[in-house]
Amino acid sequence: MRLFVTGGTGFIGSHLITMALGAGHAVRALRRSSNSRLRTSTDREPEWITKGMADITVGDLRETDVLVHLAAAGVSPQQATWATLFRTNVLDSLELWRKAAEAGIRRLVVCGSCFEYGRSAERYEFIPANAPLEPTNAYAASKASATMAALAFAVETRVELLVLRPFHVFGEGQHEANFWPALKEAAASGGDYRMTPGEQVRDFTPVSMVARAFMHAAQRPGLQPGLPRIENVGTGNPQALRAFAEYWWKKLDARGRLLVGALPYRTGEVMRYVPEVTEEVGNHSGAKGSDALRP
């Protein structure tokens, strides 16, 4: 299989590329700088395309079976303006998909976000993929808009499309400012760790599971041209943020203290994000119990 991956040096992208190369697939990947590298350890490198997403040509995309689109502006902890978010995540992405269709690519696998659900997530014990989208911030709104554009594009051009929405991914290679890496760093340094009261209920999904879900989406049978699908990627295992933190604090033999309640909740904090995981995705990314805590 021949893959083209955007966001190739990102968190999920690095794990996906490493997995795909290890399985013997050919990978061409987008990066913005020649200094950018995979965040994972690997003996192999993909064929790098070094340019901005808007500068990708139809020629760059030829001889590709599947486009896996992971690149996005505003991924935590990045900050971006409304204009940048919608230009990159919607308009530039839509133009990329148009070029992919012109290049003859028949399958698009697009990374959505659990944050597209926003406030509607709190009305479900397990959020179905067809739940209403009620985003609470600019990033989530841009991702929801991108999903709507992708669905219509797939119907109009009759390409195969699968939008995957990962839930609270964590693991090695994640940006140091995110919760799990920051917790891990505090434990290693012997310091205390300040956090919110930790009552948020989340589905903490190891990045290896997410990479497997994208790999499976790229090659699985049964997708129909012009009939796009949206699926959640998660473990289906609800956990309070505090319980997740306490598990890792103990596992890492931290000497400092977890300062629970030292920080306030963020403005617009959605208190429950737990997906309904389909059997198709669950067979390849799901886990239960303590397995879901491992990166």
Domain containing residue 97 = 2-169+205-233
Q: pTM value?
A: 0.94
Residue 218 has pLDDT above 70, yes or no: yes
What tens digit of pLDDT does each residue of 12-31 get?
999 999 999 999 999 999 99
C-alpha–C-alpha distance, residues 33 and 68, integer Å: 19
Burial profile 147-180: b = 16 or more Cβ within 10 angstroms, e = fewer = bebbbebbeebebbbbbbbbbbbbbbbbeeebbb
Q: Does residue 280 fall inside a structural domain?
A: no
What tens digit of pLDDT does each residue of 96-125 get?
999 999 999 999 999 999 999 999 999 999
C-alpha–C-alpha distance, residues 65 and 4, integer Å: 8
**Residue 118 sits in the same domain as residue 198:** no
Sort strands 239-240 and 201-202 into parallel, antiparallel or unpaired. Answer: antiparallel
What tens digit of pLDDT does each residue of 233-279 get?
999 999 999 999 999 999 999 999 999 999 999 998 999 999 999 76
CATH number for the domain spanning 66: value is: 3.40.50.720
Structurally, how many domains does the chain consist of? Answer: 2
CATH number for the domain spanning 249: value is: 3.90.25.10
Q: Does residue 284 fall inside a structural domain?
A: no
**Residue 135 sits in the same domain as residue 122:** yes
